[in-house]
Amino acid sequence: MHEVDVIAMGERHQSGRQRVLMIGEAKHAQIMGPKHLGRLTRIRDLLASRDDLDLTDCRLACFSAKGFTPELTGDPRAVLIDLDRIYSRS
């Protein structure tokens, strides 16, 4: 069993498959790194094997109040969301 902190669903296709747009993990007191992205990747791969879900456009998101390692910051597969991004007024 796997827990997912954040999931964003899109409209259901005419085929009946539900679109999964994003899955994410949230940490308050940890700096997030590649192991967190690896966990999300494994969960996405498990979900992709289901016939009722479409993960073609699924993004992997890391939410952290403490920040991210340089390795994760440089990884284009991850959407990184920190407190500044959440509370920015732009």
Contact between residue 40 and residue 63 where contact means Cβ atoms under 8 Å apart: no
For residue 76, which amino acid is it? P
- pLDDT tens per residue, range 13-46: 888 999 999 999 999 999 999 999 999 999 999 9
Please answer whether residues 10 and 20 qualify as being in contact, where contact means their C-beta atoms are separated by less than 8 angstroms.
yes
pTM above 0.75, yes or no: yes
Q: Are 27 and 63 in contact (CB under 8 A)?
A: yes
With 0-12 CB in 10 A as exposed, 13-18 as middle and 19+ as buried, what is 49?
exposed
Structure tokens at 61: 């998101």
